[in-house]
Copies of this chain bind each other. A is one copy, B any other.
């Protein structure tokens, strides 16, 4: 069996409580004894049993994270930020992937809630009522990439971001801009649509809704046809993965980007710079968002003195690369690269 606090106590010639104190409340014990206890503990290879501690303190030292799809590179980045900050504060994190199934999320919340001190719901797809129910399950909840009532959240400044995109496109001369929306269940998808609408009116451009598609490469592929027949000169994709799918389908049809059609993504995943042409996209500070969500959670748990806002918006930044260009430049542009079919 593993070495317990009693073993340490015995070996150090003190009582279990003294060992406990030496470990958790260092200044409640005589420096000399503490020193000795710590040395003995270390020597015996003592590791506190967090479950036992949690049973009495009510703290598990664990955080839970639920997200829609780890295969979307956006999420691993957020996860890295979350883990970094969590480990920093000596928390471990449970990660659970709902596979884009809104129905699965509540179940995951339920099974995680009792084993964690707090829950981070990243881009949750569940309905508002469910979300509020989820926020009810004992452990404090922080939303990432979504807002709902007064539930603490780290959101993205979507409206401002959409404005950056539309301004960029309008500046390039585009008047009709298409939007490939993500899943209907996506809050940020709706937010982005809303932001795009506002920005379009503000800049006097027309926004064409190209429909809802899965937030994947395939979704983008499927959206290409509609984008083409809609007669827009630029299209904004729900996220970078979708933009890649769009780009791939456009290339297959011999459509020159950005000569005939400009494409902009959202997220700025690492791959955006790796593909050719590199993708113009709206950067979201993914790791920072992850870290911020942990900070907020720790604050809620009373581990942080500083008081972050309960709902905070992360800034975005437009990264102009090569998939956007001026309108009406078809002829020169398309001569540069001959389509493969």
- Residues of chain A having any CB pair with chain B under 8 Å: 2, 47-52, 54-55, 60, 62, 70-71, 73, 75-77, 79-80, 83, 87, 92-97, 99, 110-115, 138, 217, 244-245, 248, 251, 270-271, 274-276, 336-338, 340
Q: Is the CB of A115 within 8 A of B70?
A: no
Known contacts A2-B138, A73-B73, A340-B337; A111 and B92 CB within 8 A of each other: yes
Q: Please indicate the chain B residues that have their CB under 8 angstroms from the CB of A114 in the complex.
A: 2, 47-50
A274 CB contacts on chain B under 8 angstroms = 217, 244-245, 248, 271, 275
Distance (whole angstroms) from the CB of A178 to the closest CB of chain B: 21
Once bound together, how far apart are the Cα atoms of A284 and B80, in whole Å?
24
Oligomeric state, in copies: 2
Given contacts A93-B96, A217-B274, 7 further A-B contacts (CB under 8 A): A2-B114, A49-B55, A51-B51, A71-B73, A94-B94, A244-B274, A337-B338
Please, which residues of chain B bring their CB within 8 A of the CB of A271?
271, 274
B51 touches A60 (CB 8 A): yes
Q: List 21 A-B contacts (CB under 8 A).
A: A47-B113, A51-B51, A51-B52, A51-B54, A51-B115, A52-B55, A70-B70, A70-B79, A71-B77, A79-B95, A80-B99, A83-B95, A83-B96, A83-B97, A87-B96, A92-B111, A217-B270, A244-B274, A271-B274, A337-B338, A337-B340
Measured CA separation A87–B104 after assembly (Å): 12
A58–chain B nearest beta-carbon distance, Å = 9
Q: Which residue of B lies closest to A50 (CB)?
A: B115
Q: Which residues of the partner chain B approach A76 to less than 8 Å between Cβ atoms?
A: 70-71, 73, 75-76
Query: Is there an interface contact between A95 and B93, defined as CB atoms closer than 8 Å?
Result: yes
Set B54, B92, B276: member contacting A275, Cβ < 8 A: B276
B residues within 8 A CB of A83? 95-97
Q: How far is the CB of A71 from chain B (nearest CB, A)?
A: 6
Chain B, Cβ-Cβ closest to A65: B95
Q: Is there contact, CB below 8 Å, between B70 and A97?
A: no
Contact in complex: B92, A115 (CB < 8 Å): yes
> Residues of B contacting A112 with CB < 8 Å?
92
Closest 10 A-B residue pairs measured CB to CB?
A51-B51, A70-B76, A95-B95, A244-B274, A51-B54, A92-B94, A47-B114, A217-B274, A76-B76, A275-B275
Residues on the B chain within 8 Å of A336, using CB: 340
Contact in complex: B87, A80 (CB < 8 Å): no
Across-interface contacts of A338 in B (CB, < 8 A): 337-338
**Most chain B CB atoms below 10 A, which of A83, A87, A95, A337:** A95
Q: What separation, in Å, do the CA atoms of A92 and B92 have in the docked complex?
A: 12
Q: Name the B residues within 8 Å of A70 (CB-CB).
A: 70, 76, 79-80
Partner of A251, one of B93, B138, B276, B340: B276
Bound: A97/B79 CA distance, A:
9
Q: How far is the CB of A80 from chain B (nearest CB, A)?
A: 6
Whether A71 and B60, one on each chain, are in contact in the complex, defined by CB atoms closer than 8 angstroms, is: no
Q: How far is the CB of A236 from chain B (nearest CB, A)?
A: 19
Q: A78 CA to B267 CA in the complex, in Å? A: 23
A94 cross-chain contacts in B, Cβ below 8 A? 62, 92-95
**Shortest CB–CB separation between residue A256 and chain B, in angstroms?**
13
How many Å from the CB of A290 to the closest CB on chain B? 11
